[in-house]
Amino acid sequence: MPDSFDDFEEIDSCYRSTEEQNRRNLAKNAKPEWHQLKCFVSRLAVEGNGYDGHKFEWSASPSRSDSLKLKNVTATFLDEGERDGILNCSLQFAGTPTRRGDAGPANGSLPAPVEWFLRPVLLDNGGVGWFVCELGQTFSSAELAEEIIKQLSSCYKAYEKVHKRWPAA
């Protein structure tokens, strides 16, 4: 406990200075770390890893969002700009119909898209990591890349389960 009000002000000033430094660090390093996360995910696709006999396909696009696809299910990397100077981004996992009208009510609907909102955070080692709001966990980029693969595979299983109930064309 501070001995005097002056001590308290000094502690408060030090805390505010540290917070501002952390904020500048996040503002400076979150965007490069976002690219690093996508590199980790794309590397998994390029290395030929697959699931259930299907290969992951990486799609990088300067005009659209980058994505990782597993058959008819895609993880889309959404860069939503900056909020208060800090990168605002998310991931969306969603399936697409294989035939026209497959998503209609008569055929049963596709599994609902899953969205993860990512908040860049400073890790204990001083690097930048990701807090996934929906999971309530913090990950390094390498760890999050693995979680993305697991989630995409899980969405693929759910999609295939619904798809097998649809009548043949």
pLDDT confidence of residue 89: 93
**82-117: per-residue pLDDT in tens?**
887 788 899 999 987 655 444 444 445 667 889 999
State how far the Cα of 134 lies from the Cα of 128, in Å rounded to an integer.
Answer: 19
In a domain, residue 153? The reply is: yes
In a domain, residue 168? The reply is: no
Residue 66 pLDDT > 90, yes or no? yes
In a domain, residue 16? The reply is: no
In a domain, residue 6? The reply is: no
pLDDT confidence of residue 137: 96
Query: With 0-12 CB in 10 A as exposed, 13-18 as middle and 19+ as buried, what is 146?
Result: middle
pTM: 0.78
**17-34: per-residue pLDDT in tens?**
567 777 788 888 899 999
In a domain, residue 25? The reply is: no
In a domain, residue 92? The reply is: yes
Query: How many domains does one find in the chain?
Result: 1
Domain of residue 118 covers 30-163
Q: How far is CA 59 from CA 33, 68, 75, 127, 131, in A?
A: 18, 6, 10, 27, 24
In a domain, residue 101? The reply is: yes
> Which one is predicted more confidently, 105 or 158?
158
In a domain, residue 110? The reply is: yes
